[in-house]
Amino acid sequence: MASHRKSRPTGSRVAGIRTPAFATAALTSVALLSQSANAAPEADDKPSLEEVEKKVDDLYRQAGSATEKYNGAKEKTAKQRKRVDTLLDDVAQRTQKLNEAREELGTFAAAQYRTGASAPDTATFLLADTPQDYFDQTQLMDRMTGRQKVAVDDYITQQSETMEKRQEAAESLETLTESQGDLKTAKATVQRKLADARELLSKLTAEEKARLAAIEKEKQQEAARKAAELARQQAEQQKEQEQEAAQQQDSGSSSAGSSSSAGSSSSSTAPDSSYATKADKALAFARAQIGKPYVWGATGPGSYDCSGLTQAAWKAAGVTLPRTTYDQVNAGTTVPLADAQPGDLVFFYDDVTHVGIYIGNGMMIHAPKPGTYVREESIYYDGESSIHSVVRPA
């Protein structure tokens, strides 16, 4: 007898449930879409070229900041080491004098021993832990000759001063150790940031590197345009000042006084002739360094970092600047950007971690960053917002 049971449709089980064939196909499609969705983030993990550029620029800036901290720590360490050496020399000299004073007291002790003196003597004094306390308790000073008293007074003075200097030297040594630790930390930070930047750049393809160079060229063109605009504004300002000066000469003494007061605000930041002379020397030195490599922490003569270059340039003009950008920004008079004159220092970024020397027409000479060379460049090389301030150092 034939069976009346219907044949079961082909299919598969999902979580113990029998599914029809068309549902199986649908599930397969969902699985494939899910795999594609999961794979998509992997393809998007690679940062865009613009993101790479920003990250590299940030790393170079962080390296620049760490470089200035390194420069400061290095300078502090050198000064502290010099101070420690001076203190140790002083302690050695005072210890020698203390030994001489002790030897002189020893001669009195020997003399008392030979004469059989029974009173408290200098021999007992030399064995005391605290000589002054010993005198207070035994009234030894009343029993000594004038020469003995002088010798004892000298010994006490030498001992006290020597102990003070030893303590001062110990504290200076501790400070020196801290400075050396700061120096080591700053150095490691610079090296780490530069290594991270190199790693990012090494992952770029030849095509990406070409595109990155094109982006950089566009930035330089915009920076040059801004520099030309500033040069035009400064030229117009200079022309107005010259016209005002000519009018003052033609107007007579009475009108000249009022005209002078009216124009004083626009010319108040103009440098005197002595500054121009010094600035010319600083700029001549800076120009002679063009083409030398940027090396972080370097102060010349073969390589420079940014503050090392400005310090060396103004030193050639007879002006001593501090080592770091943090201190150089306070070593002069702040002037408006529109009044910037050749020789002025242009500082960058909110944390004041870069500096260049202004040469006029919106341009400067600076040591930009690792992998570059000392060069002339627009002060807008990293955008107008990056400019922090302008300082006239002399």
Kindly state the tokens that stand for 167: 């303590």
Out of 18-22, 238-242, 275-279, 382-386, pick the least confident: 18-22
Q: In what order do the strands lie in the sheet with 345-348?
A: 333-335, 387-392, 345-348, 354-360, 363-366, 375-378
- Residue 248 has what pLDDT? 83
Q: Name the residue with higher pLDDT: 325 or 261.
A: 325
Tokens 């345009």 sit at which residue? 225
pLDDT above 90 as % of the chain: 43
Residue 135: is its pLDDT beyond 50? yes
Rounded Cα gap, residues 167 and 153, in angstroms: 22
pLDDT of 348 over the 80 cut: yes
pLDDT in tens, 55-77: 988 999 999 999 999 999 999 89
Q: Model's pTM, two decimal places?
A: 0.69
In 165-232, DSSP assigns E strands to none
Distance CA 152, CA 106 (A): 11
More confident residue, 171 or 289: 289
Record the tokens describing residue 65, joined without a space. 């900041």
Q: What is the mean pLDDT of residues 375-392?
A: 96
Which helix (H) or strand (E) is 366 found in, with range? strand 363-366
What is the distance of C-alpha 202 from the center of its chain? 28
Beta carbons within 10 angstroms of residue 80's beta carbon: 19
Structure-token pair, residue 291: 């083409």
Q: Which residue has the higher pLDDT, 142 or 30?
A: 142
The residue behind tokens 């300078």 is 75
Given this model, what pLDDT does residue 319 score? 97
Residue 379 has pLDDT above 60, yes or no: yes
**Which of 172 and 336 is assigned the larger pLDDT?**
336
Q: Which residues contact 134 (CB under 8 A, 6 or more apart)?
A: 124, 125, 128, 140
Return the residue matching tokens 């000519």.
246
Rounded CA-CA distance 128/73 in Å is 45
- Render pLDDT for 300-331 as a digit per residue (tens, 0 to 9): 999 999 999 999 999 999 999 999 999 999 99
CA dist 171 to 65, 96, 159, 168, Å? 29, 22, 19, 5
**pLDDT tier at 109 (50, 70, 90 boundaries)?**
low
Q: Is the pLDDT of residue 30 over 60?
A: no
Distance from the Cα of residue 48 to its chain's centroid: 31
Euclidean distance between the first and the last CA atom of the chain, given in angstroms as a whole number: 119
The SS3 of residue 11 is: strand
Q: Are 72 and 326 in contact (CB under 8 A)?
A: yes
- Report which residue type is found at 317: A
Q: Which of the residues are catalytic?
A: 306, 354, 366
Tokens standing for residue 240? 């107005």
What is the CB-side half-sphere exposure of residue 203 using CA atoms within 13 A? Answer: 12
Mean of pLDDT over the chain:
79
